[in-house]
Amino acid sequence: MGIFKELWLYMKIRKKWWITPIIVFLILLGFLIVFAETSVFGPLIYTLF
């Protein structure tokens, strides 16, 4: 959790709010990939990419 705290402080101090949607998208994409590997929907999701 330390990296998230440092990232939050970086964005807060330097006013880099445009980074937030990029980080959220990358986290959601990571969860999608992990979910696709462990579910029966894996082949369906992989065909989309």
CB 17 within 8 A of CB 11: yes
In order along its 49 residues, the chain shows pLDDT tens digits of: 788 888 888 888 888 888 889 888 988 988 877 777 766 766 776 677 6
Question: Please, what is the Cα angle at 19 between 12 and 17, to 5 degrees?
Answer: 40
Total-model pTM: 0.59
Nearest by Cα to 11 from 3, 2, 20: 20
What contacts 35, CB < 8 A, 6 or more positions away?
41
